[in-house]
Amino acid sequence: MTLSGPPASAIVGRSTGAAPWQRHVVMVLSRSGKQAGFCSGVVLTRTIILTAAHCVSNPSDTRAYIPGQPLLALRRVAKHPDFHADAPRTRSRSIDLALIETADPLPAEFTAPAFADALRYEIGTSFEIAGFGVAREGDAKSSGTLRTGRVSLRAPLSSVLLWLESPQHETGACTGDSGGPIFTADGKLAAIVAFAEGEGARHCGKLTQAVLVAPQRAWIEGVIQGWR
Protein backbone atom coordinates (compact mmCIF):
# COMPACT_ATOMS: atom_id res chain seq x y z
CA MET A 1 0.00 0.00 0.00
CA THR A 2 1.16 3.50 -0.73
CA LEU A 3 1.90 5.47 2.41
CA SER A 4 0.05 8.59 1.32
CA GLY A 5 -3.19 7.64 -0.38
CA PRO A 6 -4.91 6.34 -3.52
CA PRO A 7 -2.26 4.32 -5.42
CA ALA A 8 -2.26 1.57 -2.87
CA SER A 9 -4.50 -1.41 -3.21
CA ALA A 10 -6.38 -5.41 -1.35
CA ILE A 11 -8.93 -8.03 -2.36
CA VAL A 12 -12.57 -7.19 -1.80
CA GLY A 13 -15.72 -8.72 -3.20
CA ARG A 14 -15.75 -12.43 -4.05
CA SER A 15 -12.45 -13.28 -2.40
CA THR A 16 -11.49 -16.77 -1.28
CA GLY A 17 -8.74 -18.59 0.59
CA ALA A 18 -5.39 -18.88 -1.15
CA ALA A 19 -3.73 -22.09 0.00
CA PRO A 20 -2.08 -22.79 -3.40
CA TRP A 21 -0.24 -19.47 -3.24
CA GLN A 22 0.86 -19.48 0.42
CA ARG A 23 4.42 -20.43 -0.49
CA HIS A 24 4.77 -17.58 -3.01
CA VAL A 25 3.40 -14.47 -1.26
CA VAL A 26 4.48 -12.46 1.80
CA MET A 27 3.62 -9.08 3.35
CA VAL A 28 5.78 -5.96 2.95
CA LEU A 29 5.64 -3.32 5.69
CA SER A 30 6.98 0.21 5.26
CA ARG A 31 7.04 3.53 7.06
CA SER A 32 7.88 7.07 6.00
CA GLY A 33 8.02 9.67 8.74
CA LYS A 34 4.83 9.31 10.78
CA GLN A 35 3.04 7.30 8.10
CA ALA A 36 3.07 3.54 7.76
CA GLY A 37 1.54 1.09 5.35
CA PHE A 38 1.49 -2.54 4.27
CA CYS A 39 1.51 -4.35 0.94
CA SER A 40 2.00 -7.80 -0.52
CA GLY A 41 5.01 -9.19 -2.36
CA VAL A 42 6.02 -12.20 -4.45
CA VAL A 43 8.93 -14.47 -3.55
CA LEU A 44 11.62 -14.79 -6.25
CA THR A 45 14.29 -16.41 -4.07
CA ARG A 46 14.47 -17.12 -0.34
CA THR A 47 15.96 -13.62 0.12
CA ILE A 48 14.51 -11.59 -2.80
CA ILE A 49 10.92 -10.37 -3.09
CA LEU A 50 9.21 -8.54 -5.96
CA THR A 51 6.66 -5.90 -4.95
CA ALA A 52 5.37 -2.48 -6.02
CA ALA A 53 7.81 0.44 -5.81
CA HIS A 54 5.29 2.67 -4.04
CA CYS A 55 5.19 0.07 -1.25
CA VAL A 56 8.80 0.44 -0.12
CA SER A 57 10.90 3.01 1.66
CA ASN A 58 14.61 2.77 2.42
CA PRO A 59 15.86 -0.59 3.76
CA SER A 60 15.87 0.52 7.40
CA ASP A 61 12.18 1.50 7.18
CA THR A 62 10.92 -1.54 5.24
CA ARG A 63 10.35 -5.11 6.44
CA ALA A 64 9.16 -8.39 4.99
CA TYR A 65 6.59 -10.22 7.09
CA ILE A 66 5.01 -13.65 7.24
CA PRO A 67 1.96 -13.48 9.56
CA GLY A 68 2.76 -15.06 12.88
CA GLN A 69 6.55 -14.87 12.44
CA PRO A 70 9.19 -12.24 13.30
CA LEU A 71 9.73 -9.31 10.96
CA LEU A 72 12.55 -9.75 8.45
CA ALA A 73 14.94 -6.82 8.11
CA LEU A 74 16.14 -5.81 4.65
CA ARG A 75 19.60 -5.56 3.21
CA ARG A 76 18.78 -3.73 -0.01
CA VAL A 77 15.98 -2.13 -2.04
CA ALA A 78 15.94 -1.47 -5.80
CA LYS A 79 13.12 0.52 -7.40
CA HIS A 80 12.59 0.31 -11.16
CA PRO A 81 14.37 3.26 -12.84
CA ASP A 82 11.11 4.17 -14.64
CA PHE A 83 9.04 4.38 -11.45
CA HIS A 84 7.54 7.84 -10.83
CA ALA A 85 5.80 8.33 -7.51
CA ASP A 86 3.59 11.13 -8.86
CA ALA A 87 2.30 9.07 -11.79
CA PRO A 88 -1.29 8.64 -10.47
CA ARG A 89 -1.63 12.42 -10.16
CA THR A 90 0.14 13.35 -13.40
CA ARG A 91 -1.25 10.40 -15.41
CA SER A 92 2.29 9.66 -16.57
CA ARG A 93 3.81 6.28 -17.48
CA SER A 94 5.42 4.51 -14.54
CA ILE A 95 6.80 1.03 -13.90
CA ASP A 96 5.69 0.48 -10.32
CA LEU A 97 8.03 -2.36 -9.40
CA ALA A 98 10.69 -2.87 -6.73
CA LEU A 99 12.93 -5.67 -5.52
CA ILE A 100 13.83 -6.07 -1.88
CA GLU A 101 16.47 -8.35 -0.35
CA THR A 102 16.04 -9.69 3.17
CA ALA A 103 18.96 -9.95 5.56
CA ASP A 104 17.92 -13.50 6.50
CA PRO A 105 16.28 -16.13 4.29
CA LEU A 106 12.60 -16.92 4.23
CA PRO A 107 11.55 -20.35 5.50
CA ALA A 108 12.46 -23.22 3.19
CA GLU A 109 8.87 -23.79 2.04
CA PHE A 110 8.80 -20.43 0.21
CA THR A 111 9.47 -20.72 -3.51
CA ALA A 112 9.16 -18.61 -6.65
CA PRO A 113 6.21 -19.09 -9.01
CA ALA A 114 6.88 -19.74 -12.68
CA PHE A 115 6.90 -16.63 -14.86
CA ALA A 116 4.31 -16.21 -17.61
CA ASP A 117 5.57 -15.83 -21.16
CA ALA A 118 5.75 -12.42 -22.81
CA LEU A 119 2.35 -12.70 -24.49
CA ARG A 120 -0.22 -10.10 -25.41
CA TYR A 121 -3.42 -11.21 -23.69
CA GLU A 122 -6.88 -10.90 -25.23
CA ILE A 123 -9.71 -8.95 -23.65
CA GLY A 124 -11.66 -11.29 -21.39
CA THR A 125 -8.62 -13.38 -20.37
CA SER A 126 -9.11 -14.65 -16.82
CA PHE A 127 -6.55 -14.01 -14.05
CA GLU A 128 -6.33 -14.67 -10.32
CA ILE A 129 -5.22 -11.93 -7.95
CA ALA A 130 -3.70 -12.75 -4.54
CA GLY A 131 -2.85 -10.51 -1.59
CA PHE A 132 -2.94 -9.87 2.14
CA GLY A 133 -5.11 -6.75 1.90
CA VAL A 134 -8.46 -5.97 3.45
CA ALA A 135 -11.47 -8.14 2.73
CA ARG A 136 -13.77 -5.22 3.60
CA GLU A 137 -12.83 -1.76 2.41
CA GLY A 138 -11.94 0.54 5.30
CA ASP A 139 -11.71 -2.31 7.82
CA ALA A 140 -8.03 -2.76 8.68
CA LYS A 141 -8.86 -5.72 10.93
CA SER A 142 -9.96 -7.69 7.86
CA SER A 143 -6.42 -7.68 6.45
CA GLY A 144 -3.50 -10.04 7.07
CA THR A 145 -4.99 -13.19 5.53
CA LEU A 146 -3.90 -14.24 2.06
CA ARG A 147 -6.94 -14.27 -0.25
CA THR A 148 -7.55 -14.58 -3.97
CA GLY A 149 -10.12 -13.26 -6.41
CA ARG A 150 -10.96 -13.90 -10.05
CA VAL A 151 -10.74 -10.96 -12.46
CA SER A 152 -10.58 -10.58 -16.24
CA LEU A 153 -8.76 -8.33 -18.70
CA ARG A 154 -10.56 -5.26 -20.04
CA ALA A 155 -9.54 -2.48 -22.39
CA PRO A 156 -7.27 -0.69 -22.97
CA LEU A 157 -4.76 -3.31 -24.06
CA SER A 158 -1.19 -2.37 -23.16
CA SER A 159 2.32 -3.76 -23.51
CA VAL A 160 3.10 -2.47 -19.99
CA LEU A 161 -0.06 -2.84 -17.88
CA LEU A 162 -3.05 -5.08 -17.28
CA TRP A 163 -6.43 -3.43 -16.62
CA LEU A 164 -8.57 -5.93 -14.71
CA GLU A 165 -12.15 -6.10 -13.46
CA SER A 166 -14.88 -8.49 -12.39
CA PRO A 167 -18.17 -8.53 -14.34
CA GLN A 168 -20.12 -7.05 -11.42
CA HIS A 169 -17.38 -4.52 -10.50
CA GLU A 170 -17.23 -5.98 -6.99
CA THR A 171 -13.98 -7.96 -6.86
CA GLY A 172 -10.49 -6.53 -7.05
CA ALA A 173 -7.43 -5.25 -5.24
CA CYS A 174 -7.80 -2.98 -2.22
CA THR A 175 -5.69 -1.64 0.68
CA GLY A 176 -2.75 -4.00 1.27
CA ASP A 177 -2.83 -5.88 -2.05
CA SER A 178 -0.44 -3.60 -3.92
CA GLY A 179 2.72 -5.50 -4.81
CA GLY A 180 0.80 -8.77 -4.86
CA PRO A 181 0.72 -11.19 -7.79
CA ILE A 182 -1.58 -11.56 -10.74
CA PHE A 183 -1.53 -15.21 -11.82
CA THR A 184 -2.59 -16.69 -15.14
CA ALA A 185 -5.18 -19.47 -15.23
CA ASP A 186 -2.36 -22.02 -15.17
CA GLY A 187 -0.72 -20.44 -12.12
CA LYS A 188 2.11 -18.42 -13.68
CA LEU A 189 3.12 -14.94 -12.52
CA ALA A 190 1.89 -12.39 -15.08
CA ALA A 191 1.86 -9.05 -13.26
CA ILE A 192 2.18 -7.13 -10.00
CA VAL A 193 -0.70 -5.09 -8.54
CA ALA A 194 -0.07 -1.33 -8.65
CA PHE A 195 -3.39 0.51 -8.35
CA ALA A 196 -7.05 0.03 -7.51
CA GLU A 197 -10.20 2.04 -8.14
CA GLY A 198 -13.81 1.81 -7.02
CA GLU A 199 -17.18 3.25 -7.96
CA GLY A 200 -18.68 6.28 -6.27
CA ALA A 201 -17.24 6.73 -2.78
CA ARG A 202 -15.51 3.35 -2.89
CA HIS A 203 -11.79 2.99 -3.60
CA CYS A 204 -11.75 -0.72 -4.48
CA GLY A 205 -13.57 -3.30 -6.56
CA LYS A 206 -14.14 -1.58 -9.90
CA LEU A 207 -10.67 -1.71 -11.44
CA THR A 208 -7.30 -3.28 -10.66
CA GLN A 209 -4.23 -2.08 -12.56
CA ALA A 210 -1.11 -4.26 -12.62
CA VAL A 211 2.37 -4.03 -14.14
CA LEU A 212 3.24 -6.84 -16.55
CA VAL A 213 6.31 -8.76 -15.36
CA ALA A 214 7.56 -10.30 -18.62
CA PRO A 215 8.62 -7.00 -20.25
CA GLN A 216 10.63 -6.18 -17.09
CA ARG A 217 12.44 -9.52 -16.79
CA ALA A 218 15.77 -8.05 -17.96
CA TRP A 219 15.68 -5.45 -15.18
CA ILE A 220 14.62 -8.03 -12.56
CA GLU A 221 17.30 -10.51 -13.54
CA GLY A 222 19.95 -7.78 -13.80
CA VAL A 223 19.28 -6.57 -10.25
CA ILE A 224 19.31 -10.11 -8.86
CA GLN A 225 22.58 -10.88 -10.64
CA GLY A 226 24.14 -7.70 -9.29
CA TRP A 227 23.15 -8.64 -5.75
CA ARG A 228 24.86 -12.05 -5.89
pLDDT tens-digit series, residues 85-115 = 887 677 778 999 999 999 999 999 999 999 9
- Tens of pLDDT, residues 212-222: 999 999 999 99
CB 92 within 8 A of CB 82: no
User: Is a pLDDT exceeding 90 seen at residue 153?
Assistant: yes
pLDDT at 17: 55
Q: Which domains does the chain have, with CATH numbers?
A: 22-112+215-227 (2.40.10.10), 114-214 (2.40.10.10)
pLDDT at 16 over 70: no
Helix or strand holding residue 227 (H, E) = helix 217-227
Sign, Cα dihedral of 143, 146, 151, 157: positive
Against a cut of 0.85, is the pTM above it? Answer: yes
Tell me the average pLDDT across 126-132.
Answer: 94
> Over the range 171-205, which residues count as b (16 or more CB within 10 Å of their CB) and which as e?
bbbbbbbbbbbbbbeeebbbbbbbbbbbeeebbbb
Residues 6 or more apart whose Cβ sits within 8 Å of residue 6: 88, 195, 203
DSSP state of 198: -
Distance CA 31, CA 225 (A): 28
Pairing type for strands 126-131 and 147-153 reads antiparallel
* Choice among 23-32, 157-166, 202-211 with the minimum mean pLDDT: 202-211
Question: Stretch 128-150: mean pLDDT, rounded?
Answer: 86
Highest mean pLDDT among 14-28, 137-151, 173-187, 198-212: 173-187
